[in-house]
């Protein structure tokens, strides 16, 4: 009889525990939506980016539960500088974006904030947010690309999106400043069958890069630079191209990721 009572008691405990687990699992799934865009404060145009971890990173930190919280999983902008996340819990969040532009959150070497241009917002239903930033570089096409013997010849122009003086004023107080941060290190011509062409979606057979050492590119700022795809693209194919350039500065600082500023994508028929 005693054994039967013990069995019934244990069964009751397991049943109650199972009910508790079911209750925990019955919380509504995250269903709020955050939509946004990252634009150049000077022009109002979106900051074009890569698709993936080399692009513009979006970080959410839910502050509804206090200050000492860990960030939600990061996600990234689309190539056109817009972003969307449809799986967020309702709450109050700090939203931060990191990309090829002056950091919105700048701290000194002790971690003391110097400037904080991130946004604190309530996310409920569909919430929209716009970040106005200062891109490191502006990269634009000059004319239309030409196809010669299976190679694409493109012309681009690169200008600074923020002056050298303002860059230094904002970055130097963060510590460890080097004048080499502003050097343009390379221009890429990404080629791919994908319309999402970029660093993440490139065909290495045809993509090409021009590297620059030190401050060698300074004299080419604002000038037309010609870059040609490598290899031979088969005739009768449609490919997509984008040009990109970057400086010798990683964002977030210390991450080791030097992000590109991009042109828009162009469709090219190889005849």
Render pLDDT for 252-267 as a digit per residue (tens, 0 to 9). Answer: 988 999 999 999 999 9
CA distances from 263 to 60, 74, 195, 242, 260 (A): 27, 24, 13, 6, 10
Sign of the CA dihedral running 60, 65, 66, 68: negative
Helix, strand, or coil (residue 138): strand
CA distance 146 to 134: 32
DSSP 180: G
> Which of the four pLDDT bands, split at 50, 70 and 90, describes residue 64?
confident
> Which of the four pLDDT bands, split at 50, 70 and 90, describes residue 66?
low
Tell me the CATH number of domain 137-270, given options 3.30.230.10, 3.40.50.2000, 2.40.50.140, 2.60.40.2060.
2.60.40.2060
Q: Are strands 266-270 and 119-123 parallel, antiparallel or unpaired?
A: unpaired
The verdict on pTM exceeding 0.85 is yes
Chain region(s) in the chain for CATH 2.60.40.2060: 137-270
Give the H or E element holding residue 133: strand 126-133
DSSP 167: H
Whether residue 91 is predicted with pLDDT greater than 90 in this model: the reply is yes
Tell me the CATH number of domain 32-133, given options 2.60.40.10, 3.30.110.40, 2.40.50.140, 2.60.40.1120.
2.60.40.1120
Torsion, Cα 112 117 121 126, to 10 degrees, reads -140
Summarised one tens digit per residue, pLDDT across range 97-133 is 999 999 999 999 999 999 999 999 999 999 999 999 9
Whether residue 2 is predicted with pLDDT greater than 50 in this model: the reply is no
* Cα angle 174, 44, 85; round to 5: 75
* Cα angle 178, 179, 181; round to 5: 75
């Amino acid at each position: 009889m005693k054994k039967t009572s013990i069995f019934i008691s244990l069964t009751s405990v397991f049943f109650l525990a199972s009910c508790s687990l079911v209750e925990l699992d019955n919380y509504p799934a995250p269903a709020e939506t955050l939509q946004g865009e990252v634009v150049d404060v000077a022009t109002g145009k979106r900051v074009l980016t890569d698709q993936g971890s080399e692009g513009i990173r979006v970080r959410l930190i839910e502050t509804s539960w206090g200050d000492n919280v860990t960030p939600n999983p990061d996600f990234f902008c689309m190539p056109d500088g817009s972003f969307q996340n449809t799986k967020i819990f309702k709450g109050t969040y700090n939203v931060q974006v990191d990309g090829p532009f002056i950091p919105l959150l700048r701290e000194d070497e002790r971690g003391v904030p110097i400037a904080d241009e991130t946004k604190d917002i309530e996310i409920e239903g569909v919430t929209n947010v716009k970040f106005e930033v200062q891109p490191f570089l502006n990269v634009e096409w000059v004319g239309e690309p030409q196809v010669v013997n299976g190679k694409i010849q493109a012309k681009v122009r690169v200008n600074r999106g923020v002056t050298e003086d303002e860059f230094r004023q904002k970055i130097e107080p963060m510590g460890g400043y080097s004048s080499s941060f502003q050097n343009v290190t390379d221009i890429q011509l990404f080629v791919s069958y994908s319309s999402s062409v970029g660093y993440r979606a490139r065909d290495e057979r045809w993509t090409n890069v021009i590297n620059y050492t030190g401050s060698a590119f300074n004299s080419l700022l604002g000038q037309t630079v010609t870059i040609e795809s490598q290899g031979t693209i088969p005739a009768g194919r449609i490919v997509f191209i984008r040009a990109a350039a970057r400086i010798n500065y990683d964002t977030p600082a210390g991450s080791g990721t030097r992000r590109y500023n991009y042109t828009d994508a162009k469709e090219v028929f190889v005849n």
